[in-house]
Amino acid sequence: MEETYLLNVEGVKKKILHGGQGELPKLQDGSKFTFHFQTLKDDFERTVIDDSREAGMPMEIIVGKMFKLEIWETLLSSMRIGEVAEFWCDAIHTGMYALVSRGMRRIAEGRDPLEGQKHRCGMGNMFDYHSTGYEDLDELQRTPQPLIFIMELFRVEDPSAYKRDTWAMSKEEKLAAVPVLHSEGNRLVLRREFAQAAAKYQEAVICLRNLQAKEKPWEDGWLKLESLVTPLVLNYCQCQLELGEYYEVLEHTTELLQKHNDNAKAYFKRAKAHAAVWNEREAREDFQRVAHLDPSMAAAVKKELKQLGERMRKKHVEDRKRYQGLFQSGQG
């Protein structure tokens, strides 16, 4: 039977399942762990909650960047490269796991891990949620309990050795990353890889929004950054139109137009989204604003209005047939 190693941390037990290589890695703020993990309940069946291999992507944590589940940094710091270890963690360390898991699952599903969150600390967000959207995580949120983590550590990289995530960048790094991300997004659009392109545009917007938060709204520094944000948001919305995410387009274009109510391209994209979800009046109003603001787009607007009219007529015919069918079957 493998010897059980107790970490010098209250409420944690460690069991090495497969030894690693070399010395314990030397860590500094910004070092990055790359690892696979399984999360199990501490029950008779050892029920699996999450498995990063099944999700198809290893996990990454950057040292010193306030990862919500702080105990993971401690666990990984005790491991050598190539080591596989099992950790039992008491409920005092696992209370935030439901939120961490929710974010990881959303990423694996290609969704925004922060969607719907308010800008508050992690614990504040926990009380905002009525549901995580996952039954098993709702149970963990209601009743925090001990969990078992099985981890396999692949890599530990110094801060200079990897492409840093947006939130870990300095101001200069963020500014330098924006044109690169914009260009990568454009290249992906040409290849019709719209989901990947949208992710690049979104990352660039996040860089700029982070920088804007340190500026006074509507002053020169803020306006300069806003001029970079606007085309990226429009490109992102075009990708979402291609992907059929019409309500997301409505949300982002409306937000943009609240600040820039003379942006014809934003009205055009919002009109197309309204048309796609059968908001005929709103679509017509937005298309008319486009033609008024930018006469050079009049031909495109005319074409879109013609298509909208044809789609609405077809829908009215189909609806009439459906209602007649319901009425006749009701009479029978």
Whether residue 99 is contained in a domain is answered as yes
Residues 211, 244 within the same domain: yes
Residue 91's domain is classified under what CATH number? 3.10.50.40
In which region does residue 218 sit, left (phi positive, over 0), alpha (psi from -120 to 50) or beta (all else)? Answer: left
User: Domain containing 31: what range?
Assistant: 2-155
Whether residue 160 is contained in a domain is answered as no
Both structure tokens of 206: 């996040």
Residues 115, 22 within the same domain: yes
Residues 186, 307 within the same domain: yes
Q: pLDDT by residue (tens digit) across 283-317?
A: 999 999 999 999 999 999 999 999 988 988 888 88
The pLDDT-based confidence of 118 (bands split at 50, 70, 90) is: very low
How far is 236 from 189, CA to CA, in rounded Å? 10
Residues 174, 118 within the same domain: no
Residue 256's domain is classified under what CATH number? 1.25.40.10
Whether residue 178 is contained in a domain is answered as yes
Q: Which burial class, exposed, middle or buried, applies to 258 when counting CB atoms under 10 A from its CB (0-12, 13-18, 19+)?
A: exposed
Give 158's DSSP letter: -
The pLDDT-based confidence of 121 (bands split at 50, 70, 90) is: very low
Whether residue 269 is contained in a domain is answered as yes
Residues 231, 104 within the same domain: no
Q: pLDDT by residue (tens digit) across 125-175?
A: 434 445 778 888 888 888 889 999 999 999 998 876 656 666 667 778 788
Nearest to 81 by CA among 8, 9, 157: 157
Q: pLDDT by residue (tens digit) across 237-261?
A: 999 999 999 999 999 999 999 999 9
Number of structural domains found in the chain: 2
Residues 214, 130 within the same domain: no
